[in-house]
Amino acid sequence: MKTFLFLDDWMLDSHRDIVRRFPQPKQIPVEPVTEMCSYATVIRDPERACYRSWYNRFLTVKGERVVAKCLAESEDGFHWEPVKLKKPVDRLGHLRSNLVFSGHTSAGEGTLMYDPIDPDPERRYKLTYSDRLGPGQEQLRESSESPASDRSLGLTAYSPDGIHWRIDDDHPFYTVPGGCDTLIMPLFNPVTERYQVVVRPSVLDRRIAIVESPDFLNWTQPLTVLTPDPLDEPFLQFYGMPWFYYEDLFIGLLWDHHINQDELGGVKWSGVIDCELAYSYNGVHWNRTNRQPFIGRTEPGTYGCGSVYPHSLLIDEDDRIRIYSAGLLTDHSIEEPPKGFESIGAMIVHQLRKDGFAYLEPRAGWGTVTMRSVKPRSGEITINFRAPLGQVLVQISDPNRKPIPGYSFEDCIPLTGDELYARPRWKERKDASKLIGEHVRLEFKLFQAELYAVRWDVQPWYGDLPIERI
């Protein structure tokens, strides 16, 4: 099944009287969780009916600040309880009952992934993070010449259950001197069939880069994939980018750091951070949308008013997109909470309709949309649309836009209401099974309607031949 979203015009052949909208997720009015305000990885556990969150906590150990990962669980993803381990599983486990990982010296910046495809169950969970190296790695430790020695290299760790971890000192994923000082997020890319980790090109170089590996062992050097350009506001910086594979494409939550231009020094520390929407068809070459806040800062005096760092995206049990963010009360340069607040930040939650990153709607009256040609392998088509007071008509035509008999707009039974997986029907046709293997187009007529996505098992047809993906 192919999923076609409408983030751009690439899968469209034409449209008339149509505009593209980029909606913003709505914040869910739940109590902010101050315990989990830093770089949390939230997943719906595929093996148990619960949500799990691995989040950073800052601890003081022998006078030094250490970052450790703690684990909490929730039935609904809003109300969390720390996991109560019967005995410590980490060198610092005596400090907190739900502490599961602290690295050799600190488990900074890292996030993890659940990996169902690895044949080794001991590597079901994979973590990438910044740390010093363990014993026997002096030659790599000495190559880190940056003063930021507490983030000297990027290391990996594995776990069968997300609780018991094993560090792999022999295969650091990031060896640039100084380490990486932003959120580090691993992902398996099914397009390139390689693991990828989002990093920076180097420490404090606020652009987006990736490193890749075929086996989570042997890694490339960072490749820069997103950098601010002349259409951006002056001196915009990209602080980081959590990213997610969403059916047939990749979604990036790009952190925009808006700086104070008058600040002196080699690095800009002050400024606020919000998030814009980015996407990619292959996980390597990235596009940006309207360059407006996708998840913006919240009302003054609430968590997220200073800066907001989205860090986890998932589909909840009601088939909606849920996004977890670290919402800070202050700008980037301030590390103490304002007077009257116990914490500088808290985890806040936003919600978005399934496929709701963008939609097409008529400018006024009726609008028409024609997609590129495709070669169907299935007759089942589903449409994600919203038209409580309007309607959507669907037509299938040949490459020259001549309606195929039985599949015209006049034959279509209008779609109304609000559905994620509506099946278009025609008077004499229940599906498109008669068109499997043909060269056809989908066309839409919209009236007071929003069109979000099309799902159909097809090959896009570019030029003279069908291909597998955009």
CA pair distance 408, 361, nearest whole angstrom: 21
What distance separates the 2 farthest-apart alpha carbons in the chain? 78
Let me know how many helices (H) and strands (E) the chain has, helices first. 1, 34
Residue for token pair 């980790």 = 197
- CB neighbours of residue 216 within 10 Å: 22
Please report how many Cα atoms fall inside a 13 Å half-sphere around the Cα of residue 404, on the Cβ side: 19
Determine the Cα–Cα distance for residues 160 and 199; give it in Å rounded to an integer: 25
Q: How far does CA 184 lie from the centroid of its chain?
A: 12
Strand partners, 187: 196
Q: Are 40 and 81 within 8 A, CB to CB? A: no
pLDDT for 178 equals 80
Nearest Cα neighbor of 268 from 241, 289, 237, 297 is 237
How much is the pTM?
A: 0.94
Question: What span, in angstroms and rounded, lies between the C-alpha atoms of 381 and 245?
Answer: 22
Which residues, at least 6 apart from 380, have a Cβ–Cβ distance to it below 8 Å? Answer: 423, 431, 432, 433, 456, 457
Residues of the chain with pLDDT under 70: 133-152
**Side-chain half-sphere of 150: how many Cα atoms within 13 Å?**
11
The full set of domains in the chain, from first to last, is: 2-22+359-466 (2.60.120.260), 26-352 (2.115.10.20)
Residue 193, token pair as written in the block: 């069939």
The pLDDT, as a whole number, for residue 322 is 98
Order the strands of the 345-352 sheet from edge to edge. 26-27, 345-352, 321-328, 307-315
